[in-house]
Amino acid sequence: MKFNKYIILVIAGLLIFSCKENNGKDLAIKDANTSQQASDIEDKVSELLSKMTLEEKIGQMNQYNGFWDVTGPVPENGDQAKKYEHLRKGYVGSMLNVRGVKDVKAVQKIAVEETRLGIPLIIGFDVIHGYETLSPIPLAESASWDLEAIKKSAEVAAKEASAAGINWTFAPMVDVSRDARWGRVMEGAGEDTYLGSKIAVARVKGFQSDDLSTHYSIAACAKHFAAYGFAEAGRDYNTADVGTSTLNNIIFPPFKAAKDAGVRTFMNSFNELNGIPATGDKYLQRDILKKQWEFDGFVVSDWGSITEMIAHGYAKDGKHAAELAVNAGSDMDMESYLYVEELANLVNEGKVDPKLIDDAARRILRVKFELGLFEDPYKYLDESREKEVIGSQTIHDAVLDMAKKSIVLLKNENKLLPLKKEGQKIALIGDLAADKTSPLGSWRIAAKDETAVSVLEGLNKYTGNTVSYAKGADVSIGKNEFAFEVKINTTDTSGFDKAIQTAKQADVVVMVLGEHGFQSGEGRSRTDLGLPGVQQELLEAIYKVNKNIVLVLNNGRPLAINWADKNIPAIVEAWQLGTQSGNAIAQVLYGDYNPSGKLPMTFPRHVGQVPIYYNYKNTGRPTLPAKDIVFWSHYQDVANTPLYPFGYGLSYTTFDYANLKVSNTYGKDKKVTISVDVTNTGDVKGKEVVQLYVKDNFASITRPVRELKGFELLELKPNETKTVQLTLTEAELGFFDNQGQYLVEEGDFEVFVGGDSYADLTSKFKL
């Protein structure tokens, strides 16, 4: 080790010497410091490992859910008593769902002060879109295409969570998904690999910051490795059967991007992939992640996913499941209780190599050292910081900003929006319009019910108009994220009359319809993508008496809203926007914020089109060859096209694209530069996401009809023109073949530039 250190110092010296620029010098020093710290950590881990018994090492690989009232009396029997006893023996490496300084301190104290070696716990929690003060659901944030804002949002979430004693989040979820039936699309970045990879990086960097050891940064977790978003028929936990090309080109890249951004943990997934449960999949965890990608953090199982290998029909019993999981590279057992029960025997029987235990424990301890937990196990546990940070104005301001950036304007006929600020009678209709819990969305365990700003409250801050509210129909009476018995969607139409009367007297009707926050998320798959319950009937009933309707959608997934698209003049996609939801929506409706969001997922015309996505393959029969021909790739009853394509979103202004230029210098500096002039042709300031799509016309593996390969978010004043330059390099122009080799092939390429995935300003180049 000393020898290693010496070499590192010499290299560091040389690096510093060779850097003439000050900036370069600083960077070299930083790199050298980082490798020095890494090597110090390795030494410390080795020293600690040398003192640990087999059981203590296995203990590091054991994660328990929070149990008993940790600050109350000690549990005396049952599972809780066993967990407590394990904690005291040093057989627990991590806990999840223990939160708040008081509670975390109680368990950390046992680990640090009562166990033989005093190894601190790493405390995990699902900080998915905030801790107590919530930002928009991740799918909504992704609609901003604003990587800085998304990074900031993760940073703010980390700040609040860390103040509550959390030092590890089970986020970001980087599963690409093309199936809106799957409830967990709300938790990801949508359907696209390129956008998803950029967002994965932003989120990882936001959570972890540049320095994991600060008290406000927390370890991130790229999940769920792999193919969880490809569950058959969008049914959660279902089988995934995915070919090599999709796996390498669509599913893996956001994980790889997260790894390259330094994510410290991965979570495997509940699903089986091509016949092998991901938790027991050596190819995924050892061959790809740890060997090929050289990931040196640790892999946590998903909740009970080691035990679930029995139900999958892959493990014969719990002991066998533990053997399969550890051999496959799952380092930490979340709530299966199997590592702590079975691993020592498996090692003693020669079924598990002790080196694998050392490796897993080393990975976990490495991250604990990086977090600085050994220097100060109580660094996240400061009561005064907890009080000061959680729910602070700065955090509310940040989540409001993110919420506004996440809204997508889907339709705005006759400039119905923005609303006039004076003298208008507004009818506000819909259960969701007054709901203060639903906007929190799924994954909001630490947030209190009824803490979101409702649309009603948001609109009432504008006092120039009168707002009359009528519910119309219940959407839900859900209370608790885990109260599965909650009734969602009633068939009761008794509130229609009052809503109709209110609408009749109004100048404008704002209807807030869609899904309750508990209707998407884990275990919340749907077969129908329309407006749940009697909301469609309510919409049509109101339309009969007043056509001046602004439909505000609340939802955690793309919806199929054909009728609304055809008939309703203005539609605003407002997802579940978190704590500041109502304020963000009101500011957009009144034009104090000009919406600039773009859809991160295709909206279908009909659920039968799902999976529907913009980067599909052409097939051999892509277009209608002649009138009345049946034999081409289509549906008889619905068009192939989506209702709203990926990347789509309007603004209160308009943008013009011109002067597309492609300079192909690929032979020389391996770059293709694309430039385009974008002009704001309307009369208000606005932001536009300039999108670049590429088509490789002919390749040794068929390529999609187009793929997003670059984008830039820019703001333009009225009449202002900016030239945007986007660059394509090897990273954007190649693909993985079926052996997992990355290839950049010569040939003809087309580019498309514009404001959505139907961009039609086009040019060509050759490689």
**Site of interaction with ligand BGC (CB under 6 A):** 96, 126, 170, 223, 302-303, 522
Task: Say if CB 160 and CB 422 are below 8 A apart.
Answer: no
Minimum Å distance from CB 303 to ligand BGC?
Answer: 4
Verify whether residue 449 is a known catalytic residue. Answer: no
- Between 125 and 648, name the residue whose CB sits nearer to ligand BGC: 125
Q: What is the 3-state secondary structure (H, E, C) of 12-49?
A: HHHHHHHCCCHHHHHHHHHHHHHHHHHHHHHHHHHHHH
Minimum Å distance from CB 130 to ligand BGC?
Answer: 15
752 residue type, one letter: F
Minimum Å distance from CB 131 to ligand BGC?
Answer: 14
Name which of 504, 381, 521, 369 is nearest 444 in CA terms. Answer: 521
725/665 Cα distance (integer angstroms): 14
328/319 Cα distance (integer angstroms): 14
Neighbours of 422 (CB within 10 A): 8
Minimum Å distance from CB 309 to ligand BGC?
Answer: 15
Neighbours of 301 (CB within 10 A): 29
Minimum Å distance from CB 112 to ligand BGC?
Answer: 24
554/643 Cα distance (integer angstroms): 17
- Between 57 and 184, name the residue whose CB sits nearer to ligand BGC: 184
- Between 170 and 225, name the residue whose CB sits nearer to ligand BGC: 170
* Residue nearest ligand BGC (C-beta atom): 170
- Between 228 and 380, name the residue whose CB sits nearer to ligand BGC: 228
Name which of 164, 171, 162 is nearest 211 in CA terms. Answer: 162
Name which of 525, 382, 518, 437 is nearest 134 in CA terms. Answer: 437
588/636 Cα distance (integer angstroms): 39
Minimum Å distance from CB 63 to ligand BGC?
Answer: 10
- Between 303 and 593, name the residue whose CB sits nearer to ligand BGC: 303
- Between 215 and 223, name the residue whose CB sits nearer to ligand BGC: 223
Minimum Å distance from CB 522 to ligand BGC?
Answer: 6
Output the CA torsion sign for 153, 157, 158, 159: positive
Name which of 229, 247, 246 is nearest 178 in CA terms. Answer: 229
Catalytic residue among 302, 333, 401, 431: 302
Residue 294, helix vs strand vs coil: coil
Bridge pairing between strands 735-736 and 707-716? unpaired
Q: Dig out the tokens for 757 from the structure.
A: 């995935």
Name which of 234, 307, 319, 305 is nearest 271 in CA terms. Answer: 305
- Between 279 and 615, name the residue whose CB sits nearer to ligand BGC: 279
Neighbours of 81 (CB within 10 A): 14
Alpha helix (H) residue ranges in 19-165:
22-51, 54-60, 78-89, 101-109, 138-142, 147-163
- Between 170 and 614, name the residue whose CB sits nearer to ligand BGC: 170
Minimum Å distance from CB 572 to ligand BGC?
Answer: 30
Q: Dig out the tokens for 229 from the structure.
A: 């978003």
Q: Dig out the tokens for 679 from the structure.
A: 């002009």
- Catalogue the active-site residues: 302
